[in-house]
Amino acid sequence: MSDIKATAEEQQALKTKLTQHLNFIYKEIELGQNTESLSDDLINIMGLDKSCYQPIAYQNHWSQQDVIMITYGDSIVKKEQKPLVSLQHFMDTYLGASVNSVHILPFFPYSSDDGFSVIDYSSVNEGLGDWHDIKEIAKHRRLMSDLVINHCSSRSAWFENFIKGEGIGHDYFYTAPADIDTLDVVRPRTSDLLRETQTGKGVQHVWCTFSHDQVDFDFRNPEVLKSFVSIIRLYLDMGVKIFRFDAVAFLWKKLGSSCINLPETHEVIRLLRTLIEHSHPDAVIITETNIPNTQNLTYFGNANEAHAIYNFSLPPLLINTLVTGSCLYLKRWLMSMPPAQNGTTYFNFIASHDGIGLRPAEGLLNDEEINSLVETMQEFGGKVSWRSTESGQPKPYEINIALYDALQGTTEGKDELGLQRFICAHAIMFALEGIPGVYIHSLLGTQNDYEKFENTQQNRSINRHRWDYQALQEKLADTDNHHHIVLAKLKGLLDIRIKQPAFHPNATQFTLHLGLQLFGFWRQSLDRKQSIFCVSNINNEEIVFAINSLNLIMSEDWIDLLTGATIDMELETLTLAPYQTMWISNCDMGVNNLH
């Protein structure tokens, strides 16, 4: 964090900036106070009247050493031990310096959706631990936390006060007339949008974008904004350095509109960024917007909204590439992606607690490709979640499957190359422009949890396994077990990645043209000293290709970082085994024999 505190003049500039944000957000709303007074309230809540820093524009708060593990607080459990303590022990014992950051999915009291229906934002779920445990994790790794900002639990004190018609929260929720035309509203679910609720003020119809247990906030009320600024202040004090704005695209509602990606939503994000970066200039906002790619990119703003956006198109495109043996669509997409300007970056992932989103593939994969991908994943044990289109027709929204099982074969069926295909997927993702996020169940090679799915009847449960720590330790101690092999290989990739300047999240990237069975791209470090040619055979057959297709500089020595093998420039060709990746570099910054 910068130790240069803002001057009185800069603090006044902050107030002016906040007032401008608020004037835009509430331009159509009659407030009970003027926006300058509201700015003062927000400054006081954040403590910026006492300590205010001046952020540096377009500054990168990350490097190639940043890797984020995504996990639930109780993905690993041990008898008579708090899950957050078990999680920290696992990270310290098995991950070490390979993973320096952790995204602990909602660790608050909740009523449904595995944490995303928050009952109380200000406390830690007693079943996981307490704030002391959270702060201990934050001392050792950069901590990422969800800000579930669009909705909360219908069992929260706020919503109970809404039902009573009095107290804090009684006016926090968005309601609409029962007969309102919602045809244009974009949603990721097929349930009824409005929940009929009997309140002290009569029957109200509450807006529920996701489920009837997840009631949407009404940000037209500035008291809702104040409450969330208070929550942000608390999380910063508890050690959170990365905020994941969950489902933020749906935040602002306006009857007669799509109620997604509205200008007011973007302005709220800008306002919260202004507050956060003046408090902690090194804190980062990541927006979770599971929407078509072109819409997702808008959340960068002009480097004044999200610091990072989820690269939601990557999972369906990369998995499609590996099960079809053609990188046509992945390569087209990568070529179309704009380089992230300084102060922004992509958050890359191929597996998470949710499934493989298909909306971000719309316009990138045609319906035939999407349907083929869905059918292949179903053959490998996956489930499909649906949404309603504007015309009311069901359409696949998400594939629910463990990544290890998703890559156990191709469109032709299962084969013996699943492990190689799985490692190839991560070798590609770890090398791409951006910060990699790796799901704990990918690190462990966890497979579909059919028992949990049967118990919950929730599709997403199939990829939300809960490991008994002792059983996991036994598997990881067995060198022949695939869980041990997966963790060792992925850690090996990461240990190499974090040493390479050319893998800085903002390092230059260009797509290579090597045909459809080889997927490749070139990275160059910010100081232009290191180049890495990343080439993967995404096919189930051996491929021989010409060395000169990479345009390596003949006067330099080149090495494959993944095997340690020197590239013999006198040879005319290189050979890649099925799903083998090469990271060919002109600098030996740390190599390993992974094959």
Q: What are phi and psi of 592, to 5 degrees?
A: -155, 150
Domain assignment present for 575: yes
Dist. CA 440–CA 421, nearest whole Å:
18
Q: Is 112 a domain residue?
A: no
Q: Residue 531's beta-bridge partner residues?
A: 524
Place of tokens 């996701």: 210
For residues 208 and 245, is the Cβ–Cβ distance under 8 A? no
Cβ contact 87:94 at 8 Å: no
Tell me which of 246, 354, 405, 449 is the catalytic residue. Answer: 246
Q: Is 246 one of the catalytic residues?
A: yes
Quote the pLDDT of residue 4.
Answer: 59
Return the pLDDT at 2. 45
Four-residue CA torsion sign, 58, 62, 67, 71: negative
Q: Is residue 85 assigned to a domain?
A: no
| Confidence at residue 138, expressed as pLDDT on a 0 to 100 scale | 98
Closest CA relative to residue 520, chosen from 350, 335, 338:
335
User: Coil, helix or strand for 161?
Assistant: helix
Range of the domain at 528: 508-585
Cα separation, 46 vs 140, in Å, equals 25
Dist CA 384 CA 374 (whole Å): 7
Q: Among candidates 329, 338, 279, 284, which has minimal Cα distance to 308?
A: 284
Q: Tell me if 191 sits within 8 A of 212, measured CB to CB.
A: yes
Q: Could you tell me if 399 and 377 are in contact, meaning their C-beta atoms sit under 8 angstroms apart?
A: yes
Indicate the burial class of 441 (C-beta count within 10 angstroms; 0-12, 13-18, 19 or more): buried
CA dist., res. 430 & res. 493, Å (int):
8
- Please, is 592 exposed, middle or buried when counting C-beta atoms within 10 Å of its C-beta (0-12, 13-18, 19+)? middle
**Is 553 a domain residue?**
yes
As given in the structure block, the two tokens for residue 592 are 């390993």
pLDDT at 291: 86
**Each residue's pLDDT tens digit, 456-493:** 999 999 999 999 999 999 999 999 999 999 999 999 99
The pLDDT of residue 197 is: 97
Domain membership flag for residue 550: yes
The 8-class DSSP code of residue 341 comes to P
Instruction: Give the strand pairing for 581-585 and 559-560.
Output: antiparallel
| Residue 161 C-beta-side C-alpha neighbours within 13 Å | 12
The span from the CA of 151 to the CA of 173, in Å, is 9
Q: Report yes or no on 548 lying in a domain.
A: yes
Q: Enter the tokens of residue 143.
A: 């901590």
Q: How is residue 377 written in tokens? A: 């994943």
* pLDDT at residue 592 in the model: 53
Reported pTM: 0.95
pLDDT along the chain (595 residues), means of 10: 68 95 95 93 95 92 98 97 98 98 98 96 98 98 98 98 97 96 86 94 96 98 98 98 98 96 98 97 95 92 96 97 98 96 97 92 93 96 84 84 98 97 98 98 97 94 97 98 98 98 98 97 96 97 94 88 92 95 86 49
Give the count of domains, the chain.
1
Instruction: Write down how long the chain is.
Output: 595
Q: Distance between terminal CA atoms of the chain?
A: 41
- Please list, in sequence order, all residues whose beta carbon lies within 8 angstroms of the beta carbon of residue 197, skipping any fewer than 6 positions away: 162, 163, 203, 204, 205, 206
Strand ranges (DSSP E) for 356-453? 356-357, 383-388, 394-400, 409-410, 413-414, 435-439
Q: How many whole angstroms separate alpha carbon 213 and alpha carbon 189? A: 13
Contact predicate 559/591, CB 8 Å? yes
Domain for residue 344, yes or no?
A: no
Choose among 540, 577, 468: nearest CA to 90: 468
What is the C-alpha separation between 438 and 342, in angstroms, rounded? Answer: 23
Give per-residue burial for 260-287: e unless 16+ CB within 10 Å, then b.
bbbebbbbbbbbbbbbbbbbbbebbbbb
Is 535 within the bounds of a domain? Answer: yes
Are 452 and 465 spatial neighbours (Cβ–Cβ below 8 Å)?
Answer: yes
User: What CATH number does residue 528 fall under?
Assistant: 2.60.40.1180
SS3 state at 116? coil
